[in-house]
Structure 1
Amino acid sequence: MAVFGVDYSWGRPGVAALKRAGVKFACRYLSHDTTGKNLTRAEADALSDAGIWVVVVWQNTKDGPLGGRSAGEADARDAARQAVACGMPDGRPIYFAADWDASPGQQDAINAYLDGAASVLGRDRVGLYAGHGPMKRAFDAGKMAYGWQTYAWSGGRWDSRAQLRQYLNEQTINGAAVDYNRAVADDYGQWRVGVSPEGDDMPGYVSVGTGTEQRLAPGQWTDVSWETEYSDQEHQHWDQGGPSVLTGSARYSLTVGATVTGVPAGTLIQARVVEVEIEDTSKYEAGPIQDVLSTGDSTSVVYGLAADTVREGHRVRFQLVQHGTADAAVTGGSAKVFFWR
């Protein structure tokens, strides 16, 4: 399941409101601003005390990376100084914002800027905030280790290497303007004052997908298989091209989105997870069922499980059943799993 977070500048929602909203991390600014935009040590302390992770981004001007290498060096020195003053522990990354629709012709300057930042921080501590084009080009060129992609200027495309996604702007929490974000990797640059994430704070992560049409017979629970692995560092999706996404024992949370076609409008579609025995997959324990009514030719099914535990010797799978009278199909989808041993 993706981790929900926000970013904000001059507004201050307050930690109590952020907690009520389910916020797990806050992306905050570093810059030369003196009017209240920047993260302060007091705010970092308050967020950390509330259990909310902090992520920092340098943005003095929207097009600062056009300044090239020398600008990257100068900005990285100032950003590091401010971040340390706010309590950021050693080794944590800093994002640098390219906050405009950067053209391919501007990429050389952006890459040089990131080279300058890397000369100060080290390449493994450099991140970029940008739309899809500059994000992809910088990742392809090996210019940074972290990506924070905004949906703006992205045309619905996401680079799977970016650890953070800004997916909705101009929202409000407790009267303060915020943007909504999701973390789609276990390490997305987060920290608390004096604390780097480790152990139970760094869950394992599996992200898989499918674009292959799969038959969905009426009235029959059917495993959804995943042929594409976007992320699986701990090799949980053992049967690549198959249905299992996690091997027990582990605590986990899961979210799945799938597209079902060929089910008449108003027909019931149901989704669930099952924990099957490795030695005999005909034996299983079923999780909670979530119901969706078909909307016609193409229905989006979204399934979420906030917390569960899979026992040793079992694997987690996702299943669908449609209650129509004829065959239907799963034509695409993705599954994301966070887990803790």
Structure 2
Amino acid sequence: MKVIDCAAKLNERMIENLKQAGIGAVGRYLGDAGSWKSMGPSEAESILKAGLSIFSIWETAPTERAYFSARQGMRDAEAACRYARSIGQPQGTPIYFTVDYNAGTGDLEAIMAYFRAVKDAEKGYSAGVYGSFRVVEALGRTGLADFFFQTYAWSDGNLSAYAHLYQFQNDRPVAGIRVDFDKIIKSGGTWKRAAQPAGAKAVSPRLPKSAGYTVKSGDTLSAIGVRSGLDYRLIKKWNGLTSDTIYPGQKLKLYRPAGSSMNTFPYPGRPLRRGSTGQDVVLVQKAVGARSDGIFGPRTEAAVKAFQLGRALVLDGIVGPRTWNLLF
């Protein structure tokens, strides 16, 4: 079986072409479906429907030591888990957090602090790492990762005994797209949707109370699912929707799964920027570590820009839907 990872968004035709080329597993990025490289729920569904397995990658800008800290690890883990839930990734499967540069021995302390926070904050999923031989070995020895995706880059020809996946070529053409080629070294590093026992019926959560939500301009089922920590397909089922189309003003029921912490901070419907005031600004200030006075001033703007910088967002200091969704 051939294995790839790629940044290209895959449609059904591309997935079928990959399957015909012998590809059996695809590594794709978690994140907002509107991002240029992230996999949304419909893409994940198409990959699985075609019989391919997936390995999920989380990457914003981990290309230097300064990126790695406990705070960053906590935020990345929380966001990655929300997106994994939104595409229906089964619990217990890995998310690979990337160390995408030639990390030296002097960088390992910061990287380990990051992954220690990932393991603490990553609820329901297993902590995976993508990186060089040195990084994989360090996280394997310390038990700070459970799954390992090693790249040949910066590895000097060494292959770690911890590796589940091994990336051996970059930026190659296959089925009309540019991909990286990988190998499966150990099983368990990829996922498919959990199969139900024969004759079993899917059961939606039955809870005494549902959270009502009014659709706002710019909302999608995927985005609502990410904010709420829910699989978008359940939202469709609960509300009797036959398509992914929703419209402003529409009322939706969102049920809180047992033991979950449903996000109670939906996007306020307008961008927050310098000069904005109110409780929504307080929420943002608490999230980015700024003084919580409810006034969006220069310091709050600088803190928002610092947050955006580490997540490949437009560096404008404005909290629009994409920035808000990553914050909460």
TM range (shorter): 0.5 to 0.7
Q: Offset at 1:186?
A: 1.6
Separation in 2, partners of 1:40, 1:105:
36
Contact 1:70–1:113 (8 Å) recurs in 2: yes
In the alignment, what sits opposite 1:15? 15
* Partner SS state of residue 60, structure 2: coil
In the alignment, what sits opposite 2:88? 87
In the alignment, what sits opposite 2:180? 179
**2:110 corresponds to 1:112:** no
Once the two structures are superposed, the pairs formed by residues 1-341 of structure 1 within 5 Å of their partners are 3-10=1-8, 12=10, 14-31=14-31, 34-63=34-63, 66-121=67-122, 125-188=126-189, 190-195=190-195
**One-letter amino acid of the structure 1 residue matched with residue 7 of structure 2:** S
* Partner SS state of residue 181, structure 1: strand
Q: Offset at 1:120?
A: 1.6
Identify if the C-alpha distance between structure 1 residues 122 and 77 changes in structure 2 by more than 3 Å, giving closer, same or farther: closer
Task: Give identity over the alignment, percent.
Answer: 27
Q: Offset at 1:41?
A: 0.7
Separation in 1, partners of 2:123, 2:140:
15
Separation in 2, partners of 1:33, 1:104:
35
Q: Offset at 1:110?
A: 0.6
Comparing 91-100 with 58-67, greater Cα deviation is found at: 58-67
Contact 2:92–2:124 (8 Å) recurs in 1: no
Contact 1:8–1:178 (8 Å) recurs in 2: yes
More helix by share: 2
1:116-143: CA deviation from partner (whole Å, max 9, x where unpaired): 1101226971010001111111111211
1:9-45: CA deviation from partner (whole Å, max 9, x where unpaired): 0353711111111111101112468432001111111
**One-letter amino acid of the structure 2 residue matched with residue 8 of structure 1:** C
**One-letter amino acid of the structure 2 residue matched with residue 56 of structure 1:** S
Separation in 1, partners of 2:6, 2:17:
13
Separation in 2, partners of 1:27, 1:101:
21
Separation in 1, partners of 2:195, 2:113:
31
Q: Which runs of 5+ in 2 are unaligned?
A: 197-328
Identify if the C-alpha distance between structure 1 residues 155 and 103 changes in structure 2 by more than 3 Å, giving closer, same or farther: same
Q: Offset at 1:191?
A: 1.7
Separation in 2, partners of 1:179, 1:121:
27
Separation in 2, partners of 1:35, 1:122:
24
Contact 1:27–1:55 (8 Å) recurs in 2: yes
Separation in 2, partners of 1:55, 1:176:
18
In the TM superposition, structure 1's runs of 4+ consecutive aligned residues that sit over 6 Å from their partners are: none
Identify if the C-alpha distance between structure 1 residues 24 and 114 changes in structure 2 by more than 3 Å, giving closer, same or farther: same
Separation in 2, partners of 1:19, 1:34:
25
Alignment: residue pair count? 193
Separation in 2, partners of 1:53, 1:146:
16
Contact 1:89–1:191 (8 Å) recurs in 2: yes
1:51-102: CA deviation from partner (whole Å, max 9, x where unpaired): 1001101001133773311111100110010111111011111110000000
Contact 2:168–2:182 (8 Å) recurs in 1: yes
Contact 1:11–1:176 (8 Å) recurs in 2: no
Q: What RMSD, in angstroms, separates the aligned Cα atoms of the two structures?
A: 2.1
* Partner SS state of residue 62, structure 1: coil
Separation in 2, partners of 1:123, 1:90:
5
